Chain A
Amino acid sequence: MRPVAAEEIESLAIGAWILGTGGGGSPYLALLNMRQLYRQGVVCQLMDAAELADDDLVAVVSNMGAPLVGQERLTDPKTMALAVTMMEEYLGRTFRAVMSLEIGGGNSIQPFMAAAVLDRPVVDGDCMGRAFPEAQMTSFAIHDLKMYPLTLADVRDNAVVVARAASWKWMERISRKACVEVGSIASTCKAPRTGREIKDCAILGSTTKAIGIGRAVQAARRAHRDPIDAVLEVADGVTLFTGKISDIARRTTEGFLRGTAAIEGLDDYRGHTFSLAFQNEFAVGWLDGQPRVMTPDLICVLDTVSGDAIGTETLRYGQRVTVIALPAPPILLTPKGIEHVGPRAFGYDLDFRSVFG
C-alpha cells in the first residue's frame, strides 16, 4: 500500500482518458473533485491486490448514466460513497477497499472519490483494462462471476438494490431503468468481490498503468517531445494512421452513441483513408477498406499535436489525429473474452485478429 500524490491523480486523468478509447466520459469533473479533496488534506492509498486476504471484500464502483447529464448534475464524492455504504448495509459486511469498474475515462477516478470519503484504499486494477459500453463486457463476466447484488444511489436519497438478476443483460436492463428514472445519472456499487476473485479475475495494475501513461505524456510535453511517441513507448503501442477527420456520422440507438468517422491520410499516410466505427468507444478500424484493428485491442484517437485523447462525442471535422493501438489485457483475448468483447459482440462479422500478432 502506498500514498497517491496529487500529481499522480492529474496523470491518471490524462492516462485514463487515453485508455477510454473514445468513451468512458471525460475525467475532468472527477479530477476537480479530487483536487478539492486533496486541498482539504485527503491522501488516497493505492493497494496492490496481493495485499488482499482471500476473504476480504472489495467494492467495485462506477458512475452510471449519460455523460451529458453528468455535465449538469456534477459528480460528488458523497453520493459515490453512499452506493458503497448501502451495499455494506445490505450485506452486513464491511469492504476492505474499493476498485474501479473501468479504468478508461472518468470512472478511473470515481473509486478515489469514494475512497476519500470512506477512508479505504483503492485497489490497483479494474475489470475492463479500458472502457466498454455494456455491463457484461468485464473480466468478471468472462470468468462467470455472479453479477448481483448491485446498489444504485441517487443524490436525492433515492436508493435501489438489485438483489438478483438472471444474467448480465438483465442486470444491465434493470439497473439502466432505475438509472433513467433518477435522471440518467447515478452512483453504483457493482457485485461485491472477494479478495480471491480480485486476485484471480480482475485486470491488475491498470491504475498504475494509466498513471504511467499520463506521466509520460506530461513529461514529453514539458520536454517538447512528441507525446504520442511517449504513449507508444510506455504502453507498448503502435501507430496505425495519421490524418485529418474528413467525415463523421453519429446516431443514438438503444441508448448508445454509434457512428463512423473517416480520416484522410497525412504525411506518411497521404493517399490512404482510415475509417472507424464506434459504439461509445471505438470498435473497429479499416485501412483503405480492409479491417486493420478491432476490439478488444485498444483503439485510441489522439490529437496529433497535444497527444490529448479525443472522445467519440467530441470528434470534429478537420481535427488532426493519430490513431494508435494499445494491447488489450490477456483475459480479453481468450476465446471466452473474444465472445464477450470481440468484434462480433459489437455486431461486426469479423474474426478477431490482433494488430500485435
Chain B
Amino acid sequence: MRRRIGIDVGGTNTDAVLLEDDAVAAAVKTPTTADVTTGITRALAALVERAPATRDAQAAMIGTTHFTNAVVQRRDLGRVAAVRIGLPSGASLPPFVDWPEDLADLVRGEVVLLEGGHEFDGRPLVPFDEKGMREAARRIRVSGIRSVAVAAVFSPLNASGEEEAAAVLREECPDVAVTLSHRLGRIGLLERENAALLNACLVELARRTTRAFTEALHQSGIRAPLYLTQNDGTVMLAEAAEAYPVYSFASGPTNSMRGAAFLSTRGEALVVDVGGTTTDIGSLRHGFPREANNVVEIGGVRTLFRMPDLLSLGLGGGTRVSTGAASLALGPASVGYRLTEQALVFGGDVLTVTDIAVAAGLIDLGDRARVAALPAALVKEALARIRAMLEEGVDRMKTEASDAPLIAVGGGSFLVPERLAGVSEILNVPHQAVANAVGAAIAQVSGEVDQIFQDLSRDEAITRARQLAEGKAVAAGADRNTLTVVEVEDLPLAYLPGNSLRTRVRVVGDIAG
C-alpha cells in the first residue's frame, strides 16, 4: 500500500495527515510552536497514535510559510554577496536597486558587477571576466559572507556565465552557498536577480529549518524520505529543496488548492479558501493552481517566478461588521485569532461575520442567544454583501464565461452560500479543514522550461521545450513514465527578427520508486 504523510506548518496550526493510497486514513490539527520542531513532533505523535501505519509511510511532505514570513517580518535573514554578470550593460541599475531600504540594509553585502552575459540569440555579450570573478571570490571569502547570488544577462537562455562564476566560487570559497538566477527565474534580469538574492538570504535559515524537520521526523520513528512542497504544488527532496527556499514561498495556499482538487476529485474548478482574516480564491487547471504571469511582490521585492494566481479578499470569519449611520460595512479589519474572545457569540462585544453566520443559522458556534437580537434586516444585508464579494471575486478568477464548479475549503467555508452566480455547483468536501496537509501529501515532481526559440514552428518549439522540461523533471526525481504536460504557453515577441517565440512548458510526474 502506498502511504504518504502530508504536513502543513502554518502560522497558527500544524496540520498532518496520513494518506493510504487515495484515502485519508488519519488527520490531526495541533498548534504551531515557536521552535517548529516540537509542533511537528506533536502532530506526528498524534498521527501515529491514530494510525500506527504512519511509521510505514514511504514519503513525508512538508509545506510551510516559514520562509515567506521571514522576509515579510525581516527576521533570520543572512547577508548576501551579489554577483551580476552583464557589464557593460545595466551598470546604472545595480543589484538591490529596487529593494525596500530596510530590507536591503539587512541583506546587502558585497556587490560585484562583472563583464559577461549573453544576447537573446545566445551570442556572448562580451567575454566573461573570469579574473574579476576570482578577485571578487577572494574578497567574499575574506568578508565572511556565507551566501552568494549570481545573475547573468540572458542566463535563462545561456547559463554558461553563471556556471563559470559558480565554478570559480567553488574553488575560491568552497563553503559559501551559491544561488544561480537561471535556476529560479525567467526573462527579466532585475526580477530574476531579486529572486536569487531573496533565495540567498534565506539559504542558511532553510538549511536549519529543513534539518529540524528531518530531525522531527526521525524522532517520531519515521524513516521515509522528506520532501518540501513548492509554490507550484510539486515537491523536491529536502536535501535539494533546502537550497531553494523561495520555491516554497506560496506552498501554503497552493497546497490547500491541490488538497481541494484531490478531496473533490475535480481537476478543473475554482477554490475558495476562507480563513479568519482573508479569503483566497484561485483557479485549478488540471488539478494545479493557475499561475500568476506577472510580477509578484514578496516583502516589497519584485520577483517573477512560479507562484499561484490568487485573489485575496478581506473577508474571513473574524471580519468586523460595522453598522454606522450611513450603511453597513464589512471589514477589512478582522479580530483575527482573537475571534474566540471578541466575537459576540463568544461573549465579546465585536460584531463579526461569524456572528452573522450564527444568527443566520449557517453554523452553530458559541452562544447563539447572544445574537438573537440582531435585526433580521441587518443579517440579510450582511449576507448579501458577503455573497456579492464572493461572486465578484469568483468572476474575476474565472478563466471562461461558462459556469464553473467551486470547492469550498478552510475554517470559514460556512460563509460560502449554497448557490453563487457564475458557479455551477458548490462542493463541500470531507477533511476540508486540513486540505493543505492533504495537498502536501499528494504532491508530484515537476520540470519547467521558459525559453525563446527562433526559426522553429510553434509545434517544434513546444516539442523542444517539452523535452527540456521532461529532462528537468526526471533530474528532480520524477518517474519518466508518469510525466504529463500540464501547461503550455507561447508568446510571439515584438521587434525580434525571424520568428521568435517565447515558449513555456511544464510537466509533472509521480515520485520515482
Q: Is there contact, CB below 8 Å, between B492 and A257?
A: yes
Residue of B nearest to A76 (CB): B92
Those of B96-134 within 8 Å (CB) of chain A? 97-98, 117, 119-120, 123, 125-126
Q: Is there contact, CB below 8 Å, between A255 and B397?
A: no
Shortest beta-carbon distance, B454 to chain A, in Å? 11
**B120, B397, B401, B499 interface centre (most CB from chain A within 10 Å):** B120
Partner pick for A32 among B91, B93, B396, CB 8 A cutoff: B93
Q: Is there contact, CB below 8 Å, between B494 and A255?
A: yes
Q: Which residues of B contact A67 (CB under 8 A)?
A: 494-495
Q: Which residues of A contact B501 (CB under 8 A)?
A: 252
- Complex alpha-carbon distance, A131 and B502, angstroms: 24
Q: Is there contact, CB below 8 Å, between B495 and A71?
A: no
Q: Which residues of A contact B126 (CB under 8 A)?
A: 156
Q: Is there contact, CB below 8 Å, between B396 and A73?
A: no
A72-B153 CB under 8 A given contacts A32-B98, A252-B493:
yes
Q: Is there contact, CB below 8 Å, between A180 and B497?
A: yes
12 pairs, CB–CB < 8 Å, chain A vs chain B: A29-B190, A32-B93, A66-B494, A71-B188, A72-B120, A72-B154, A73-B189, A76-B92, A156-B126, A184-B496, A256-B495, A313-B494
- Complex alpha-carbon distance, A184 and B117, angstroms: 15
Q: Is there contact, CB below 8 Å, between B190 and A318?
A: no
Q: Which residues of B contact A313 (CB under 8 A)?
A: 491, 494
**A-B pairs, 7 with minimum CB distance:** A257-B494, A252-B492, A66-B495, A74-B90, A76-B92, A73-B89, A183-B119
Tell me whether A317 is interfacial, beta carbon within 8 Å: yes
Tell me whether B293 is interfacial, beta carbon within 8 Å: yes
Residue of B nearest to A256 (CB): B494
Tell me whether B350 is interfacial, beta carbon within 8 Å: no
Those of A58-78 within 8 Å (CB) of chain B? 65-69, 71-74, 76-78
Q: Which residues of B contact A250 (CB under 8 A)?
A: 491-492
- Complex alpha-carbon distance, A74 and B501, angstroms: 21
Tell me whether B399 is interfacial, beta carbon within 8 Å: yes
Q: Is there contact, CB below 8 Å, between B90 and A280?
A: no
Those of B286-303 within 8 Å (CB) of chain A? 293-294
A71-B189 CB under 8 A given contacts A155-B88, A255-B494, A318-B397:
yes
- Complex alpha-carbon distance, A36 and B120, angstroms: 27
Q: Is there contact, CB below 8 Å, between B86 and A73?
A: yes
Tell me whether B266 is interfacial, beta carbon within 8 Å: no
A-contact 0/1 string along B451-473, CB 8 Å cutoff: 01000000000000000000000
Shortest beta-carbon distance, B75 to chain A, in Å? 27
- Complex alpha-carbon distance, A242 and B496, angstroms: 33
Q: Is there contact, CB below 8 Å, between B499 and A252?
A: yes
Those of A155-181 within 8 Å (CB) of chain B? 155-157, 180
Q: Is there contact, CB below 8 Å, between B497 and A318?
A: no
Q: Is there contact, CB below 8 Å, between A317 and B399?
A: yes
**B92, B97, B293, B501 interface centre (most CB from chain A within 10 Å):** B92
Q: Which residues of B contact A146 (CB under 8 A)?
A: none
A-contact 0/1 string along B146-189, CB 8 Å cutoff: 00000001100000000000000000000000000000000111
Q: Is there contact, CB below 8 Å, between A77 and B92?
A: yes
- Complex alpha-carbon distance, A152 and B187, angstroms: 25
Q: Which residues of B contact A33 (CB under 8 A)?
A: 92-93
Tell me whether B398 is interfacial, beta carbon within 8 Å: yes
- Complex alpha-carbon distance, A36 and B97, angstroms: 8
Q: Is there contact, CB below 8 Å, between A280 and B494?
A: yes
Those of B64-98 within 8 Å (CB) of chain A? 86, 88-93, 97-98
Q: Which residues of A contact B188 (CB under 8 A)?
A: 71-72
- Complex alpha-carbon distance, A157 and B88, angstroms: 9
Tell me whether B500 is interfacial, beta carbon within 8 Å: yes
Q: Is there contact, CB below 8 Å, between A156 and B88?
A: yes
Q: Is there contact, CB below 8 Å, between B492 and A66?
A: no
Q: Is there contact, CB below 8 Å, between B396 and A320?
A: yes
Shortest beta-carbon distance, B205 to chain A, in Å? 29
Residue of A nearest to B495 (CB): A66
Those of B182-208 within 8 Å (CB) of chain A? 187-190
Residue of B nearest to A279 (CB): B494
Shortest beta-carbon distance, A254 to chain B, in Å? 10
Those of A34-66 within 8 Å (CB) of chain B? 36, 65-66
Q: Is there contact, CB below 8 Å, between B495 and A184?
A: yes
B-contact 0/1 string along A250-265, CB 8 Å cutoff: 1110011100000010
Q: Is there contact, CB below 8 Å, between B492 and A73?
A: no
Partner pick for A316 among B97, B293, B398, CB 8 A cutoff: B293
Partner pick for B496 among A36, A244, A255, CB 8 A cutoff: A255
- Complex alpha-carbon distance, A68 and B153, angstroms: 12
Shortest beta-carbon distance, B496 to chain A, in Å? 5
A66-B496 CB under 8 A given contacts A29-B93, A183-B125:
yes
